[in-house]
Amino acid sequence: MWILSILPEAAIHIIFGLGILGTIAGFVLGFLMFMKPYRLAVQICGLLILTLGVYLEGGLADYKEWELRVKEMEAKVAQAEAKSANTNVEIQEKVVEKTKVIREKGRDIIKYIDKEIVKKEEVIKYVENCPVPKDIIDLHNQAAELNKGATK
């Protein structure tokens, strides 16, 4: 109810209180002789104000309940955002560690080729006698660029 955002809470209670007082007054004042001509008018006004007051009080109660739910939801969202940030840190660490291990293992194998494999006699013989044919190199290079055919 938008009216609740512009009307202070106290005003709603005052309207409700005035409604009760007006309704009571409408019935009590009838006993006083000089007020008798205004009795009906006071009763009608009192009942109208009381109706409005009850309506606004109901709306206020509902509004407060929703406000509470919104706060609860905001707390949940804030908690989720913090959790999400923590998860990101955990995943970052995991991926960085995994990548580091892969890179190191790759470097170790290349180092092993340079240090050990190239020194082996049968490898030296093979390298001297059998250079890799150009067609094989071209095929390898084409395969290494397979993704380029897919990008426009």
Q: Are 42 and 25 contacting, i.e. CB atoms less than 8 angstroms apart?
A: yes
| 65 interacts with another protein by CB under 8 A | no
CA atoms within 13 A on the CB side of 137: 4
Q: Are 19 and 49 contacting, i.e. CB atoms less than 8 angstroms apart?
A: yes
The pattern of x and - marking residues 132 through 151 that bind another protein according to CB under 8 A reads: x-x-xx--xx--xx-x----
C-alpha distances in angstroms, 45 versus 57, 89, 109, 114?
A: 18, 65, 94, 101
Question: Contact positions toward another protein, by CB under 8 A?
Answer: 1-3, 5, 52, 55-56, 59, 66-67, 70, 73-74, 76-77, 80-81, 83-85, 87-88, 91-92, 94-96, 98-99, 102-103, 105-107, 109-110, 113-114, 117-118, 123, 126-127, 130-132, 134, 136-137, 140-141, 144-145, 147
